[in-house]
Chains A and B, each alone.
Chain A
């Protein structure tokens, strides 16, 4: 039986993983298989992780008629030529075997009439290569990986532990983390030869967002504070089909199954923007098309357009889009089998993140990152639907394996107790603070509204400067936010204050990246620089924290076999 740790003293691991979604769990299994002692830590129970939310599926060129080159080219084109082609090749080549491995572990993938794995169509793809479990693909894979964690008794699980900081030794090598046991408030120093960040994205920086409340960019901020460069942070994906108000996600699988988009005048407007792929163009293209319709007055009065799923046969909706039936019924009061549902583009995913190589290594020795927290970069300026699950698994596994190998040749680094004391002081300061500052919820609300107003589908210099000014003011205000909960058991108020600090670091780097990239590429559309500029801007923007200030530098985009072309769908 796997061990579930609730208390511990000076725990040590070869590989310590922060985050227990798909990337984290896959890394844990890979590292354990490579013979490392593994700990996996998450601020929520692993099955609560946001990988759950991936509905539509996972891409792989597994059909004999399909090829990894085709998958890779679609991904390169989808990335608007900002993705690193060596990493994309690795991912697309490894995809078919990963799907088969998951199938063997027990994922209940959809079958065709012959009983073989069946596929559905997805956006930006030249073949139907998305493997799926109804519209709960992420959940199904997450739960099957957790079944494996329950089976492995050599992996230690720290469930409901909140990591507050990374610890490095005197040589700058990662040495562990400081974490708080959410259940009893104990602060603990964890020693580790390697740390893999697998803590997900930062959607909560925006409001509304499809992202869960836990997606506060903790790992991105902790790596940044530890000196690791962040890359392409300006590349924030707005998903084309989210609900007005609460930002809930309607899977791209709906359009994959054949659903249409209409404006308020009943026009299937994608004809104008992507005459070949129509609703299944890349997400950035569809979101911009929708936002253009809305901005030019052809949307509905509530700032939406319509997604019509009624064209999909009812039986097919029930077996393949069941979650969306529930979302429509429970959250919008709409029976999607009978009437169109109102949707709009909404914050969904960060293509950028902690800069890593193809083995998940960051610039901080011993520190790895995989999944949405990382930027390898396989998504470049725009991620294709159903490539995110693939990214988490392929680079989760590679990080796990590489970290295990790295750990084998070294002795345990010294994690200084001073780091623990520092974090304890920080916590004491927040809890003991007089209630003179703003409430955490106020600052967070202003941040979310600011980002959605100025750093969304369309951006310009003036708006981005306003955003930067507000974010920097909020950073000051966050230093004095007051909390009500003074306790130790499940002090979620305190965690909220720490997360707010993480979110503001994320927001600042997003805005800085967007200001810096003076062109339009992928998810970044600058109305003041509306053209893609291959001469100057086929390069990654890196932001590093140096002496407390963000410093901008560039790195090359790796090209292997695909030269930039005009991008049409």
Chain B
């Protein structure tokens, strides 16, 4: 049964000289059809000038990335009935709000300039396989899991939803960003690639590289293909620090070591130790002996002052920091993980058991 829905679409005509504005369209569709179906109905019956890129209508071409009710997603795999319920909860009036994605310039209506942002960043990560030497006569022999593993990153359809939702990109437009870094992992994780260490060094040394991500999970939440870009960034970091011990000038290496060491010792984050340990590559002792660490610490004084002002750290907490009540269990987790020969990576393509 078709039902009535109202779409509130952000319009922008670059030729008019006018600013962007909102326009409402009434459409009638079954609730299990998509928001894209709604937009196409409005375009077909009412106003052919509504601009939106779209093609496959099956969440594989990645064309129709937009924001629906404030969330970055594909219009084609968002059910219009659910979008209406979501709008009802979020806004007065209940119209489904559709607007162009963020972090990219708007060209017209719902169409953004992906070349200027997304594709430039993809190009930045040297996005092609660079094998060592000549290829074998037949295929490269590689573990079956390695191919399934990077297929998660290959599943990216370049829709831009993660780029749109990325909070780091909002403050640093030069951040390589979630999609391009997931693309980078596709090569770093590929056993056929011969430039793993060079790629990791490059991404670690870039001030807008892998250590520019703030773990906000936005990209993981919005990705329509379960690529989990942040997970791929964390894998790049683990490879850079754990496998290759790349000590970068951004101090990402030290910061990661500091975090891990603090959690192993206290079970919770000891804010006052984070900076010194970061500059001492994880160690409190080294941070106080190494002249370079001391210099960096001194330069970080404004951060320390801010921390004190906001109450994040206090002199008392700096000296005495409580441990998690069952810190023993935290240590046990550390021990168990460290006892493994290989690092286990969570991958959404490898779930369930054979006999299920």
Contact = CB atoms under 8 A, between A and B. Distances in A.
Contact of A318 (B58, B79, B349): B349
B190 A104 contact: no
Interface in A115-157: 115-118, 133-134, 136, 139-140, 143-144, 147-148, 150-151
Given A136-B155, A315-B354, A489-B108, A114 B141 contact: yes
Interface stretch (B89-97, B127-135, B263-271): B127-135
B147 A110 contact: yes
A442 B45 CA distance: 8
Given A136-B154, A487-B13, A52 B51 contact: no
A111 B32 CA distance: 37
A212 B56 contact: yes
A116 B139 contact: yes
B63 interface: yes
B264 to A, nearest CB: 33
Contact of A490 (B51, B139, B143): B51
Interface centre among A100, A114, A486 (most CB of B within 10 A): A100
A183 B107 contact: yes
Contacts of B139: 100, 103-104, 109, 116-117
Contacts of B355: 313
A104 B148 contact: no
A313 B354 contact: yes
A47 interface: yes
Given A52-B60, A313-B356, A213 B54 contact: yes
Interface string B328-346: 0000000000000000000
Nearest to A247: B57
B301 interface: no
Given A117-B139, A315-B351, A487-B13, A439 B45 contact: yes
A118 B15 CA distance: 54
A489 B148 CA distance: 41
B62 interface: yes
A493 interface: yes
B123 interface: yes
Contacts of A159: 115
A7 to B, nearest CB: 13
B8 interface: no
Contacts of B313: none
A493 B108 CA distance: 13
B158 interface: yes
A182 to B, nearest CB: 10
Contacts of B144: 110-113, 115, 118
B128 A148 contact: yes
Given A104-B131, A136-B155, A489 B60 contact: no
A441 interface: yes
Nearest to A482: B48
Given A1-B123, A53-B58, A134-B349, A109 B354 contact: no
B352 A47 contact: no
A44 interface: yes
Contacts of A221: none
A95 to B, nearest CB: 14
Contacts of A48: 53, 55-56, 61-63
B190 A330 contact: no
A104 B58 contact: no
A115 B142 contact: yes
B138 interface: yes
A143 B59 contact: no
A553 to B, nearest CB: 35
Contacts of B190: 106, 108
A118 B139 CA distance: 11
A151 B14 CA distance: 33
A183 B13 CA distance: 12
Contact of B151 (A115, A136, A314, A330): A136
B6 to A, nearest CB: 20
Interface string A1-16: 1001000000000000
A103 B127 CA distance: 16
B147 A111 contact: yes
Interface stretch (A269-277, A294-302, A320-328, A535-543): A320-328
A246 interface: yes
A319 interface: yes
Given A110-B147, A148-B128, A212-B55, A323 B60 contact: yes
A550 interface: no
Given A133-B154, A212-B56, A441 B44 contact: yes
B49 A213 contact: no
Counting contact residues on chain B (CB < 8 A from A), the size range is 35 or more
Interface in A285-342: 313-315, 318-319, 322-323, 326-327, 330-331, 333
A489 B15 contact: yes
Given A133-B151, A246-B57, A111 B142 contact: yes
Interface string A34-46: 0000000000110
B140 interface: yes
Nearest to B153: A108
B157 interface: yes
Given A106-B129, A322-B349, A489-B15, A134 B56 contact: no
Contact of A439 (B32, B44, B107): B44
Interface string A211-235: 0111000000000000000000000
B289 to A, nearest CB: 45
A61 interface: no
A491 B43 CA distance: 12
A249 interface: yes
Interface in B271-294: none
A128 to B, nearest CB: 16
B98 interface: no
Given A53-B56, A148-B128, A484 B138 contact: no
A143 B154 CA distance: 8
A52 B62 CA distance: 10
B192 A319 contact: no
B111 interface: yes
B59 A326 contact: yes
B148 A319 contact: yes
Contacts of A118: 144
Given A45-B114, A151-B128, A213 B45 contact: no
A492 B151 CA distance: 34
A246 B107 CA distance: 29
Interface in B27-79: 32-33, 43-45, 47-49, 51-63, 77, 79
B48 A249 contact: no
Contacts of B114: 45
Nearest to B138: A100
B114 to A, nearest CB: 7
B115 A248 contact: no
Given A110-B144, A115-B143, A487-B13, A315 B356 contact: yes
B91 to A, nearest CB: 24
Contact of B129 (A50, A147, A318): A147
Nearest to A106: B129
The list of the 9 closest CB pairs from A to B, nearest first, reads A441-B44, A106-B129, A485-B49, A493-B48, A484-B48, A111-B144, A315-B352, A104-B135, A147-B128
18 contacts: A48-B61, A100-B139, A108-B150, A110-B148, A111-B142, A133-B151, A134-B151, A136-B155, A139-B157, A140-B151, A144-B129, A183-B107, A212-B58, A314-B352, A326-B77, A439-B48, A487-B108, A489-B14
Interface of B: 13-15, 32-33, 43-45, 47-49, 51-63, 77, 79, 107-109, 111, 114-115, 119, 122-123, 127-129, 131, 135, 138-144, 147-148, 150-151, 154-155, 157-158, 187, 190, 192, 225, 349-356
Given A48-B61, A52-B157, A319-B148, 7 more contacts: A4-B119, A53-B56, A105-B129, A109-B139, A246-B57, A315-B354, A492-B52
